[in-house]
A and B are shown apart, each in its own frame.
Chain A
Amino acid sequence: QSVLTQPPSVSAAPGQKVTISCSGSSSNIGNNYVSWYQQVPGTAPKLLIYENDKRPSGIPDRFSGSKSGTSATLGITGLQTGDEADYYCGTWDSSLNINWVFGGGTKLTVL
């Protein structure tokens, strides 16, 4: 069981918008920045969003992040077939000793 909860899968048609949720608690999301990663099967994860809503250089503005309380959301607009991947949220957790935790991942299917 992951500390952060994500839906196992989401799907949408090309050109549409999709959101992926990430639910946690006050010991993690509630008091720390959230990041999001994209992992195309067979490749290493790529950082999409950091500090809740910031995009690294080179990440298109179709990708957005937000946080409210103990939950965070990744939004992807103008879906492309190349967006089909697994998406993971991550943040620091301080419930025992501080350590980085991930959500279980969400498989995005672009229909």
Chain B
Amino acid sequence: QVQLQESGPGLVKPSETLSLTCTVSRGSISNYYWTWLRQPPGKGLEWIGYISNSGGTKYKPSLKSRVTLSVDTSKNQFSLKLSSVTAADTAVYYCARGVYDLAPPDYWSQGILVTVSS
């Protein structure tokens, strides 16, 4: 079955840009929708947005001005950039797959904790 693995720094300074990459293995990145979500420590889940393999995107409205999603089909990877981070962006970040644009994320990564701190 498909596997997803995030990579990126676990510590980001306030006002800087958080950058994460998700590598898809045991499956193709084509014909699916690739989602980013996060979960602040001790809190609930939050959807950030998705990108299709062709580059179409949809973002959570409150994050839209700071989020950029991209996909690299040649590497079977997709990426998240979140700019101007604050302590409120400290969370476990997950990448996940959707089988179509309105499908719920089915396969999830294990999650990576990103802490925003100076």
Q: Which residues of A are at the interface with B, using a C-beta cutoff of 8 A?
A: 2, 32-33, 35, 37, 39, 43-47, 50, 56, 88, 90, 92, 96-105
Name 30 interchain pairs, CB-CB below 8 A, sorted by A. Answer: A2-B44, A35-B104, A37-B45, A39-B45, A43-B110, A44-B111, A45-B94, A46-B108, A47-B106, A50-B104, A50-B106, A88-B44, A88-B45, A90-B45, A90-B104, A92-B102, A96-B61, A97-B61, A97-B64, A99-B47, A99-B60, A99-B61, A100-B35, A100-B47, A100-B60, A101-B47, A102-B46, A102-B47, A104-B44, A105-B44
Q: Which chain A residues border B59 with CB–CB below 8 Å?
A: 99
Contact flags B3-46 to A (C-beta < 8 A → 1, else 0): 00000000000000000000000000000000100000000111
Given contacts A44-B110, A99-B49, A104-B44, 18 further A-B contacts (CB under 8 A): A2-B44, A44-B108, A45-B45, A45-B108, A46-B108, A47-B106, A50-B103, A90-B45, A90-B47, A90-B104, A98-B58, A99-B58, A99-B59, A100-B60, A100-B104, A102-B44, A103-B44, A105-B44
* Residue B109 lies at the interface, judged by CB distance under 8 Å to chain A: yes
Q: Is the CB of B106 within 8 A of A56?
A: yes
Question: Can you name the residue of chain B whose Cβ is closest to the Cβ of A50?
Answer: B104
Sorting the interface of chain B by its residue count into under 10, 10 to 19, 20 to 34 or 35 or more gives 20 to 34
For the complex formed, measure the closest distance between the CB of B45 and the CB atoms of chain A, giving whole angstroms.
Answer: 5
Q: Which chain B residues border A33 with CB–CB below 8 Å?
A: 102, 104
**In the bound complex, what is the Cα–Cα distance between A103 and B45 (angstroms)?**
8
For the complex formed, measure the closest distance between the CB of B66 and the CB atoms of chain A, giving whole angstroms.
Answer: 15
Which applies to chain B's interface (DSSP): helix, strand, loop or mixed?
A: loop
Q: Which residues of B are at the interface with A, using a C-beta cutoff of 8 A?
A: 35, 44-47, 49, 58-61, 64, 94, 102-106, 108-111
For the complex formed, measure the closest distance between the CB of A44 and the CB atoms of chain B, giving whole angstroms.
Answer: 4
